Structure 1
């Protein structure tokens, strides 16, 4: 309750008392007694706020960038006195953007009334967030006084990077060497390559019949596929490069995590074992798997990923973790910089027969991006001559289009 409101009420009573004493008569004293009654009722009424209960919860404790979550509020007036107006405000974390730093709304409550509200908020920033302090204000029916109180709620939200499905042909395109022809992919067989047709044998699936070829040959022919050797994918994410940009919500650091999440989601959905290596000040390696809950585990770690400062952490992690995996595995590198040590390491990996794909963040498209474009293009040309595919990932183009471009460029 504001002291100034009480002071104004007392000042009014003193003035009414002096006026009644000086003038006399029924009307001045009626005004005095009525004022005393109104102020007394207002002071009692405003205490009803103590009986207001508000509980805030989230409809989920996990979300991802770009999705909408709801704060659910349950409000109850435990008093027989109604509240003509109630105003609630809650400070919000950075998760919902600079324009959504506070959620506020007003309502009224009848005696013993219960109400429920939902506040929609779009997740804008990856990370783990805690908040929940709410300020509630209410006033009397005459609008003379109001009181406020703070209610503590504990809300926890883990916002993951957005994980887009990149299409069924994405993995077959990544598996191709630089300059290889990429065949069209049969649904459900993303890592199989169409090799030709053969005569139909009893027991062959009717879905594999090549109808056009069968009509020409006047006999049933079925399609033959050759299975790719890629069984596992190991994704290395460079979190320690000094070239990363961090200005704004759509910086190169967050874009790299978006690429990693999307590749992992696509590969697991298509049946591959996926591992993840986060290269920061400390190395975090998630072994390849495709079991239920594995993608959720990867996305949780990506949600909590933080910036590193250790020099050459990415190259050292690639050597330490990459060489322990079989030659048939695909190594995916997500980085903003092809520094000399990394290029030399990639030469060693290709010399040993490893398959490598590089998603290189195009820094000049990000705010405050600092890159020597000529040196970058020279490094890209060099590793492409090793047979390594390099995809330049800019700030705005959708990943579905970019990885579709891999297929187009390889064809």
Structure 2
């Protein structure tokens, strides 16, 4: 007789529960917190005692658990914070509630709420002493290339077309002509920068080494944030598990798009760096600045970048060092000097802000303004 009663106890303890789970955000930066608020209502005339709640999901840290009691027709509330220190996409939830009989013979489990996806962005440091010159430009430093984006370069006005946004209206021209007129904009190639990220596992020896991968990604994120802050037009190519290309642009929304790509970036053995550079070479004309981020020392990659420089472009190579690597000149470093490709060495995530300064690790700094052989 006692056994059925104990089984019934565990079943009834999680019945007639209404659970609300609320997360305050779905996108955070590394080191940030997600606050979860839980409200549990019982419609039972009997108290629910010794219930155990735990948040499930794919978090790299253990979620908060709690043992609680809900009175008859009662309500129980609590909230807790979960800190996420690693970039990536994680799921939080559903909330799992477990009930057991007083002797622990039987238990019942129920899940409440839907899984919530939490995207964790990299948190790049500021770069107080880093910049690169614009690529070679004809004339006054601008090429008249129309763009649908709003840029600082106004090219002229034209008649309104359906779909033009309100903030493009040119009211003086509208008043003068009696027709709705909108502004046209030029792309500003003087600040067009491509950050090209190498996440090929075999070249970079990334297999199982999250430290190198994270340093590569954080370096790229730091550059993206820095150039965006300077109002430079910056694009991103990431050749990881999910190859992504974001055309050069400006603004907070554009920066968020790049950070989202970098949050999800993972190494792969599919897309080699040299193949990606070769395939996307049409994007790298003489009006572009190429910034490569890699942990490899591939002479073929250097040859491709040198070909781009000889066409009149500007190129800089950022080399992420493997842990324990001494900061000494190598054969590859000498190749960079002969090819007039400036190279900066990045030691770790913690040293990015000090490594990426022209006062510190840049090699052949004068080469940045050199255009000949």
Find the aligned partners of 1:176 and 1:364 in 2 and give their Cα distance.
33
8 Å contact kept, 2:134–2:191: no
Aligned to 1:107: 68
Aligned to 1:125: 86
Find the aligned partners of 2:247 and 2:57 in 1 and give their Cα distance.
36
Find the aligned partners of 2:110 and 2:207 in 1 and give their Cα distance.
35
For residue 335 of structure 1, the aligned residue among 271, 286, 294 is 294
The reply on whether 1:377 has 2:330 as its aligned counterpart is yes
Pairs within 5 Å for 1:41-120: 47-93=12-58, 95-97=59-61, 100=62, 102-120=63-81
Pairs within 5 Å for 1:208-247: 230-242=190-202, 243-247=204-208
Find the aligned partners of 2:238 and 2:112 in 1 and give their Cα distance.
36
Give a deviation string over 1:267-308, Cα, whole Å, max 9, x none.
112211111111246743211011441111112222222332
Quickly say closer, same or farther: Cα 1:261–1:122, change in 2 above 3 A: same
TM-score by length of 2: 0.71
The reply on whether 1:363 has 2:322 as its aligned counterpart is yes
Find the aligned partners of 2:241 and 2:45 in 1 and give their Cα distance.
59
Quickly say closer, same or farther: Cα 1:362–1:119, change in 2 above 3 A: same
8 Å contact kept, 1:166–1:403: no
Quickly say closer, same or farther: Cα 1:89–1:292, change in 2 above 3 A: closer
TM-score by length of 1: 0.65
Structure 2: 5+ residue runs without aligned partners? 136-187, 366-373
Quickly say closer, same or farther: Cα 1:275–1:158, change in 2 above 3 A: farther
Q: Report how many residues are paired.
A: 310
Find the aligned partners of 2:263 and 2:242 in 1 and give their Cα distance.
16
Structure 1: 5+ residue runs without aligned partners? 11-38, 178-227, 366-370
Quickly say closer, same or farther: Cα 1:396–1:231, change in 2 above 3 A: closer
8 Å contact kept, 2:201–2:207: no
8 Å contact kept, 1:76–1:113: yes
Give a deviation string over 1:174-210, Cα, whole Å, max 9, x none.
3399xxxxxxxxxxxxxxxxxxxxxxxxxxxxxxxxx
What root-mean-square deviation, in Å, do the aligned CA atoms of Structure 1 and Structure 2 show?
A: 3.4
SS at structure 1 position matched to 2:15 = helix
Aligned to 1:271: 231
SS at structure 1 position matched to 2:38 = strand
SS at structure 2 position matched to 1:401 = helix
Tell me which structure has the larger Cα radius of gyration. Answer: 1
Find the aligned partners of 1:342 and 1:297 in 2 and give their Cα distance.
27
